[in-house]
Amino acid sequence: MNKQKITTQVNSFSNGVRVAFGISGIVALVLGLLILIAPMKTASIITAIVALYALVSGVIYLAIGIFSRTQSNPKRILNCVLGAMFLAAGILAFTDLDNSTVLLASFVAIMIGIVWVAEGVVALTTLSRSPNRLVSGGYAVLCVIAGVLVLFGPFTFASILWLILGISLMVLGAIQALRAFSFKGNVVIIGQN
């Protein structure tokens, strides 16, 4: 390869990386702004996407259950039941999107709370084998306390987590966009003099 062709390829690659950094940074920045400006509306949009996913999945599972000729009847019935459940969940979510958003956020927070409590309990049960019992014990107690706090206020926890996500997306998006402007295509080509 001649040197000019290599330089052109490096410049093309550098421009591609720069554009990718810029686009991802701007998308993250805009999403972060939307979360901070209209947190409930943005969460409702995400809930609508999840509900749409449920509707599409429901149709697919129903179609598999109805039209599949290679599956046994019990499997076809299970596919139909699963499809009906997905469809019902999607329809219910779209009938009251605001309450569905609160329900989805609370559900996710409750799952996090349960996982933290379980993780704390597991850490407590393995405390006798831990090389550092003080750190492991402290970790276990903090997990259980954090999990219980989340379980007593799941929507509050979800709201705080949502705002932290918005702030993080804004900051990381701005940094990523700055990286796009400052990216230099310093590529080392092995075997070239």
For residue 158, the one-letter residue type is A
Number of helices (H) and strands (E) in the chain: give both, helices first: 6, 0
Answer whether 163's CB lies under 8 Å from 36's CB.
Answer: yes
If DSSP codes are grouped into helix, strand and coil, which group holds residue 72?
coil
> 3-state SS of 7-68?
HHHHHHHHHHHHHHHHHHHHHHHHHHHHHHHCHHHHHHHHHHHHHHHHHHHHHHHHHHHHHC
pTM exceeding 0.85: no
For the stretch 118-166, pLDDT in tens is: 999 999 999 888 888 899 999 999 999 999 999 999 999 999 999 999 9
What is the DSSP-derived secondary structure letter of residue 31?
H
